[in-house]
Amino acid sequence: MQFDGDTYDEERDSVRLTGQWQRVYGLMQDGRWRTLRRICDVVGKSEAGVSARLRDLRKERFGSFRVEKRRVKGGLYEYRVLPPEPSDQMDMLEAAE
């Protein structure tokens, strides 16, 4: 996994962020809708951390997953993770060759 950012320090942050990513992806790969709070409760991480990992899932280097959100009431949203669009999957396969 290759994280980045102004405050990212590979030695200090790599193991922690990789573990967060794996927990969030492991939960969300089933495509079910969940609130950010529910995801946090299951994976045991902060909302800021979970939100960042959901953003990571969208990035090409993390799989180009589709992270969808929908408003359920007031300011509450639910999120789900779906596989990349078929055209994105073909682009990734071609790039790997």
Say what the pLDDT of residue 72 is: 94
Say what the pLDDT of residue 93 is: 59
User: Looking at the DSSP assignment, which residues form a beta bridge with residue 81?
Assistant: 67
Query: What is the distance between the alpha carbons of residues 65 and 34, in angstroms, rounded to a whole number?
Result: 16
Mean pLDDT in consecutive groups of 10 residues from the start of the chain, 97 residues: 77 86 96 97 95 94 95 94 80 61
Domain extent listing, the chain? 10-96
Classify 75 as helix, strand or coil. Answer: coil
CATH architecture classification, 10-96: Orthogonal Bundle (1.10)
